[in-house]
Structures are given as structure tokens and as C-alpha cells.
Structure 1
Amino acid sequence: MSDSLVATSSTPDNQSSLTEWLNYMQQIHVSAIDMGLSRVLPVAEALGLVQSAKNDAYVFTVAGTNGKGSTTAVIAQMCQAAGYKTALYQSPHLSVFNERVRIDGEMVSDETLINAFSKVEAARLQCDLTLSFFEMTTLAALLIFAEANCEVWVLEVGLGGRLDVVNIIDPDMAVITNIGIDHIDWLGDNVEDIGREKAGILRDDITLIYGATTMPDSVQQAIDQHQARCYQVGQDFAYQSLDSATWQYSNAAVTMQLPRPALSLINTANALSAVLASPLDIDISAIEQALQTVKLAGRFDYRHTQQRHWLFDVAHNEQGVEFLLAQLVPLWQQHLAEQHESIDSHSGSQPASIKMLFSMLGDKDIDHVVQRLSQAGLPISEWFIAEIDYPRAASTEHLYSVLSRHVEQAQIHQFDRLKEATQAVMQASDAQDLIVVCGSFHTIGEALAALTADQ
């Protein structure tokens, strides 16, 4: 499709702002998601991207239904701690676009992004092709990594694997965190179809870290086809929590007692397995340093701000909610114990409860997520809901209709915008309560923006 048939505004230049560029790239293609590599590859080749990555960098590519962000964050932090110049690409972002593109842990500047966008746009026009927002921005990130001569690239797949733009770069190490039902409109409605798409990141004779104890036949078939080496959790490596400060990782060659990170242990174990299976020189001190410093906003992200206790988690499907609840139940017990010690038992205050600040995208399985949260046995006293400011957002009315199947209507409070819901949950909560914010990356981002604006 010719560019002239789709473009709706003039091309920005290097004097334009990052916002102008991002807005422009959201307008130049007919759909927000358009899977396939046929349009992307010619542009990538015009930029010299594919060859550059293979010549100069060691590439980790991480696919999966949940846990990709945490896994890529841990891999990157370990490589960086070992002294490698490390590129990290993740999506989506919570607050600012620059979060997606990092080198040695630092977000790249607006100027760096604009310069890369300009080069990608020139190559796109030269090829007379249209690209989606995600394709344009991912190519720009890869170009930035190549031009910065990063030694290690850690790439998070955006959607699926086989047809995702990240897959134009051949990985040296592949990770599939897990396979659940999500994005059924693009990947299929069963684990075999979804597994086949995610296993599309494999290459001949590659090593795969597989982070779930059950594996679809389609993934095993891809492993056999590519004669890949597979290390699977529960078979080839294992992990266990020792106490609140330490955990143990083991495989056939090594057993390590390590500091407990702020991220989930399964994702950390998958990341560590990938690093240990690579030829990179990363010793135990770098691993320990990384685990003590790695963080990722919005992933079981506990904060105390504005005299309230908050937990932010991007869980947006049934499997993600299971991860959240596995960690939330013990956190709640710890929270209750701490509140019991700090609050005068004669103060007359209400018992501590959980307030939910919640919104999701309309194409997600909202019913299963709400059902699991509401039946987890947690003292959720109120739900505060609003529509996210995003094209695929579920309306407040739809959220209410789903919630009311599982929750007393008197417990549900509706608002037009998440900022209003955020302000309302603060006013309705007490200092001993826990406010849980979940349902989408966009839910977390808008809630954090509202909190920042109020400070």
C-alpha cells in the first residue's frame, strides 16, 4: 500500500517534538496491529539493521504470555552488572515512551529517538511501504542499539513471536516464559496455536529456556525441527524461596543461594538460566548485584505514597492474575501484621481492607479476571472503575456489567476517567488499607500519572 493512501499529516522533521513524532506514527498505517514481516523486512534491510545485529551483538529474545518484562529486566541487569554495554527493549511503557528503549539501564533521550524515527521514516518512504506504530518504533529502537554498538541486546517480543517485528533479528538465546490464552484475535484461541506462534523465535541449533512445567506439542515440534537445546523449569533447573531475603537456584551444574529480588522468582529463574546458558562472562558477584538492584515499575510494585499503601501490577489476563494473587496473599498477611503493630487497638478505626482500582482493555477476558480476583478470599471492600484513555479500552458501563456478576453493586464505584477514580479511592481509603491497582499497563500508567499530578 502506498504511503500516499494512508498518511494523514505531513512528516515531522528533526525539529519536531517527540510527541509530534509519536502522534504522526500512530496515523500513517491503517491499523494499530498488523502482524507480519513482509513490510518490515525491506525497511530493516534498507537501514542495515539485520546484518548489524548479527555481526556485533549477543541477542536474547524473550517471548511468552506473561512475565516478559520482568525476565528481560533481570537479564539486562545481570549483563550490565557484568560490564557489557546492554540494550533493553520492552513494551508497552507506563509513563513515558522513552521507558521502552534503554541502554545500560538509562532511557534514551528524546533527541536520540527523534533522530532514529527520522531515519526509519526515510527508509520507509524509500521502500514505499506503510508500517504500524509498533513496527516504526521497534525499528527505531533496534537502530539506536546498533548505532550505539551495544554488546548485548535484550529484546521483548510485543505480540506472539513468529510475526512480531522483533523477530527480524535472529536471537542467540531464546526464552519463552509461559503460554496462556491471550490475544486470541491474532494468535489463536488454544495453547497449541499460541505456542506455535511464540516458538517462531527459534532458530536452528539455538538454546531455548522454557519457563513453564507444561509444554504444548507445537513448541516441542519447533524444538525438534530446529534441533534446539531446551532447558525447562522443573526438569533442567529449579528454584525455591528460602525466606523473605533469600532464594535458591539450581541446575545440573550449580546450586546458588541468592538475594531475593523485587520481581517474581519464576521470571528471575528463567532469566538466570538464560544468562548461565549463554557464553557471556557473568560471575556470581554480578548476578548478586543485579538481583539486589533490579526493579520494574508496575510488576508487583509496592509503594507508600500520599499516606496510602499501593500495589501496582499490570496483570491483565487470567494467568497474570494467578501470578499476582500468589504474591498478594502473603503480602496482605504481612501488611496486616505491620498495621496491627503500628495502629492503636483502641483507636476505633475500621479493620484494614483492600480497595481495587481497576480497568481493562475491551478485548481482554474481563470476566475471568474479575471472577478470580473476587473469589480469592481477600477482603476486597470496594471497587473503583473507570474507562482507560485508550482506543481499545473497555467502557465504564461494560466494566460495571461484568463486575456486577461477581461483586455486590454497592461495592462498585463508577467514574468517567481513571484520574477521578484514583482521587476517589484515596479519599475512600484509610492509612491502614491497601489499594491494589491492576488490569492493564494503561491502568497503571494513568493511576501513576494522577498520583504524580497530585503531589
Structure 2
Amino acid sequence: MSDSLASHSHSSSSPDNRATLTEWLNYMQQIHVSAIDMGLSRVLPVAEALGVIQSAKDDAYVFTVAGTNGKGSTTAVIAQICQAAGYKTALYQSPHLSVFNERVRINGEMVSDEILIAAFSTVENARLQCDLTLSFFEMTTLAALLIFSEADCDVWVLEVGLGGRLDVVNIIDPDMAVITNIAIDHVDWLGDNVEAIGAEKAGILRDGISVIYGAAEMPNSVQQTIDKHQATCYQVGKDFSYRENDSITWQYSNAAVTLQLPRPALSLTNTANALSAVLASPLKVDINAIEQALQTVKLAGRFDYREVHERHWLFDVAHNEQGVEFLLAQLVPLWQQHLAQQNTAQQATGKPATIKMLFSMLGDKDINKVVQRLTTAGLPISDWFIAEIDYPRAATTEHLQGILASYVDDAQIHEFARLQEATHAIINASQPQDLIVVCGSFHTIGEALSALETR
């Protein structure tokens, strides 16, 4: 893979000689006026020039996953099962938490800076030849698809960035589609009601393919798109189901099989949707591959429990109302379990264990609804540590404080200029028996994790 791509890398050293991954990422963020620019008209000629559409059609089995929440977990489980079954598996996800390379993986391994740079160079050449501008997401997605094509992967697992119909991932025809759920998010681009959003997400469907629908309620717009394409739909609660057995096993059932399986470190809802997609595909996957995959799959920032600096941390990228519901459904039982284990530490300090929140969001999200759910869930949240994320669309600390002040006492809100300061402060202000919950955005998690690494 690296040789064939590397051969392109010398052809466009470009005027300013971009030598590092960081230089390329910075450059690609500047060449197009809009960070998000929906539509495929600009990207299709470049994709055709690169040959990535034909490569996917001819050589790979493609899973495309859309939906409001749960796409990352769902794609991670699909990829892990396919890899465990012996398929050379490509996984494309976004955004990343710590390093860009997280977005582009082959058989679970992040691709190297060198491979990414070579691909960016090739995409840039094709873009210039087509005389088009592309957004950062379009450039980087095309590079990922080029890398998968060059690596001759058997299976491509692609996570849609935003919506579906007009997302650059949708230039590739999927063999199997997954729509995890439909909720209100990204209203500026997708619409402010579930019917409009459903129509956008269902834009990934193609004639005659299968689709997994991972929620009990289906908007009419999704059903109409399924009917139009004569797609075969498998919906949770109708065509497959799952239930928890205990903390270590769960049961999955569809019309053909009932499986008792090891419990993964990710949500069972997303795992069941992913498993349904693999089982509905023609890929040959046995029970051993499924069990092995579920025992090893993990995804940073998705109900991600860690012990760092003698503190208990839970990282979750929940950033909208539905995501927070999902988080709370798992957090309440975890808290009970945590309390039972922390008895000794509490006795040593004489202080009860509490939950402390490290929190920040993007300004275009419904912060009020998220805060309302978190503060009314009946959890003993003693303090909120807030700061502005280092990102153009970040909510200001003042804005966060203003919303929080409607729900909790001012004395419980601790404001900081940067998330790194807030992360260090929350360690100093907490006890070993406390649970620190970090949520609100991918960027919140990423900055907190990097602050913990540098402390």
C-alpha cells in the first residue's frame, strides 16, 4: 500500500512544500471557504479521477452507516467482526479525538502519517486538474477512500459525516446500509423535524440493497425511501431483538438464530444493529469471530471508563438530547456499581462519593436540553467544571455558565478559560472515590484526554 501511494507523493510537493501531516491538515482547512458544504457536484469529478468509486464497486463489500447517534460504535463493531472473520477491513470514522489518523484504519490499525500525506498529495493533484475547490471533509474522505482502494481491502465500513444524501461518503454505493436512529441535530443543514432529517439519512439507500434500521420509531420519509428503492429492511423490535442477561452476557435474536454472547464495552443497541448488518450480508462469519470481536472491540469516548491520576473517569461524546439519554441509561447502573466499590475509600476520607462534571459543548447544539437532562436525572452531581473548547464553533464559557445557572447553584459552577485548566482543577478538587464524567462534545473529550497526558 505505502509503495503505490508513496509514488504519487513527489508529484505535488506544491508551492509551500507541505511535508508534515499537520501542514497538510492546516492547508486543507484553508482552501475552501466553507467548513461544511453539502452536495456532491464538486466532489464527484475528483472521485472519478481517482478511481475510488469504481474500486469500491468492483473489489469490496461496503457497509455505510448513517444516523444521529451511535454511528461510531456501530461501525467499530461491524469492522471488528469482519476483521475477526478474516476479511481485510477498512474503517472510516469521524471526527477524531486525539489524532487525525484515528479516522482511517485498516484491520484496526491507524494508517501512518506517510500514507495519509501521499494520499492527500494525490487527491490535491486530482482536485487541481479538475479545477475545483473541496472542503476539508471532502478532501480527507477522498484520501481515506483512495487508501482503502490502494490497500485492496475486502470490506469497507464507512461512517457518514453529516446527514447522508449529500455527504461525501455517499459517492460510494453501499451493499448494506445502516440507519442507527433519527433525532433532531444539525438543524441548519438537515432540517428541524424528523421527517426532513429522515429523508436526508435515508439518502444512502440504493435499489435492492438491505438496510438495518436501529430504532423502534421510523419516520414516514424513511419508509418511503425504503419502498422507492425496494430495499429489504430489518428493524429492531420487528426483525431482530436483544436483551441483557447479566453484566457479562447478552442475547441476540433474529428469525434465523438466537445467540448468547459476551457483553462488549459498547452499547448493546449499537452492537445489535451492527451484528444484524453483518448477519444480513453474504459475508462468511462464524460465532467464534463474533465472540472474539465483541470481547475486543473498543472505541475511545463512547461510555469509556478509565482510571487516570488516581481518579475514576467516564468519557462520553454525548452532545445532543438523545445522546444524553443514551449516556444516562448506562450511567445510572454504573454509578450504583461504583458506589458499592468505593465504600472503603469513603470510610477513609469520611466524605460521600459524588459525581463531578467536566463539561463543554459547541455553540450550535441545544445546550439547554442537554443540561436539563443531566441535572434532572437524579444523580448526585456536586460540581460542574466548564471551559470553552478550542474550536471555532465552541460555546463561550459565559454562555455555558448562563445556562447552567438556571439549573444549579452558582457555587457548583467552576469556570476556566481553557479545558486543560478545568481538567487539572477537577483532579485537585475531587476525591479518589468520586466519579468524573466528561461529556458534551468530541472536542471536550479530545482536549481532556490530551490534558491528562500532559499532566
TM-score by length of 2: 0.96
SS of alignment partner, residue 343 of structure 1: helix
Aligned length: 443
Candidates 12, 20, 25, aligned match of 2:28:
25
Counterpart of 2:144 in structure 1 is: 141
* The one of 286, 289, 304 aligned to 1:286: 289
- Aligned residue runs from structure 1 range 35-54, under 5 A: 35-54=38-57
- On the 8 A contact 1:28/1:130 being kept in 2, the answer is yes
3-state secondary structure, aligned to 1:204: coil
Q: Which residue of 2 aligns with 1:168?
A: 171
Aligned to 2:196: 193
**Structure 1 residue aligned with 2:70, among 53, 67, 70?**
67
- C-alpha separation in 1, matches of 2:101 and 2:144: 10
Matched, 1:442 2:446: no
Match of 2:3 in 1: none
| Counterpart in the other structure of 2:423 | 422
Q: Deviations over 1:262-304 (max 9, x none)?
A: 0000000000000000000010000000000000000000001
Q: Is the 8 A contact 2:317 2:441 kept in 1?
A: yes
In 1, distance between residues paired with 2:306 and 2:345? 19
Task: Name the structure 1 match of 2:11.
Answer: none
Residue from 321, 326, 329 that aligns with 2:324? 321
The answer to whether the Cα contact below 8 Å between 1:12 and 1:20 also exists between their aligned partners in 2 is no
Distance 2:454 2:139 in 1: 30
Paired position in structure 1 for 2:278: 275
1:266 is matched with 269
Describe the superposition over 1:307-346 as per-residue Cα deviations: whole angstroms up to 9, x where unpaired.
Answer: 0000000000000000000000000000000001x3363x
Matches within 5 A, 1:249-260: 249-260=252-263
**What's 2:345 paired with?**
343
Instruction: Give distance in 1, aligned partners of 2:41 and 2:411.
Output: 52
- Whole-angstrom distance in 1 between the partners of 2:367 and 2:26: 29
Offset of 1:11 from its aligned partner? 5.1
Taking a change above 3 Å as real, the CA distance of residues 344 and 228 of structure 1, as seen in their structure-2 partners, is closer
Offset of residue 348 of structure 1: 4.4
Matched, 1:84 2:71: no
Report SS of the residue matched to 2:138: helix
Distance across 1 between alignment mates of 2:317 and 2:307: 18
Cα deviation for residue 258 of structure 1 reads: 0.1
Distance in 2 (alpha carbons) for counterparts of 1:216 and 1:11: 50
What is the DSSP-based 3-state SS (H/G/I as helix, E as strand, rest coil) of the residue aligned with 2:30?
Answer: coil
CA pair 344-53 structure 1, distance change in 2 beyond 3 A: closer
Could you tell me which amino acid in structure 2 is paired with residue 411 of structure 1? Q
Matched, 1:301 2:271: no
**TM-score of the two chains, using structure 1 as the length reference:** 0.96
Give the AA of the match of 1:343: A
Identify the residue that residue 354 of structure 1 maps to in structure 2. 355
* Structure 1 gaps, min length 5: 1-9
Cα separation, 1, equivalents of 2:429 and 2:97: 25
The structure-2 alpha-carbon separation of the partners of 1:337 and 1:391, relative to structure 1 and needing over 3 Å to count, comes to same
**Any idea what the Cα deviations from partners look like across 1:365-420, whole Å, max 9, x if unmatched?**
00000000000000000000000000000010111111111111110000000000
Say if 1:11 and 1:24, in contact at 8 Å, map to a contact too. Answer: no
Contact 1:359 1:443 in 2 (8 A): yes
Match of 2:404 in 1: 403
- Give identity over the alignment, percent: 81
Partners of 1:393 and 1:260 in 2: CA distance: 35
Does residue 223 in structure 1 map to residue 226 in structure 2?
yes
Contact 2:346/2:352, CA 8 A, preserved across alignment:
no
Alpha-carbon distance in structure 2 between the residues aligned to 1:403 and 1:74: 35
Counterpart residue type for residue 420 of structure 2: K
Report if aligned partners of 1:202, 1:222 keep a CA contact under 8 Å in 2: yes
Residues 114 and 344 of structure 1, relative CA distance in 2, 3 Å threshold: closer
**Aligned mates of 1:87, 1:189 — CA distance in 2:** 33
For residues 177 and 346 of structure 2, what CA distance do their matches in structure 1 show? 53
For 2:199, give the aligned amino acid. Answer: R
- Structure 2 match to 1:4: none
Instruction: Give how far 1:349 is off.
Output: 2.3
Aligned partners of 2:312 and 2:433 also within 8 Å: yes
Partner of 2:8: none
The alpha-carbon deviation at position 433 of structure 1 amounts to: 0.1
Question: Does structure 2 conserve the Cα–Cα contact (< 8 Å) formed by 1:262 and 1:295?
Answer: yes
Quickly say closer, same or farther: Cα 1:368–1:127, change in 2 above 3 A: same
* Match runs of 1:201-240 below 5 Å: 201-240=204-243
RMSD between superposed Cα atoms in Å: 1.0
**Cα distance in structure 1, aligned partners of 2:165 and 2:265:** 31
1:86 counterpart letter in structure 2:
T
Per-residue CA deviation, residues 43-93 of structure 1 (Å, 9 max, x unaligned), is 000101111110000000000000000000000000000000000000000
Task: Find out whether 1:370 has 2:366 as its counterpart.
Answer: no
Distance in 2, matches of 1:11 and 1:94, equals 31
**For 1:125 and 1:408, how far apart are their aligned partners in 2?**
56
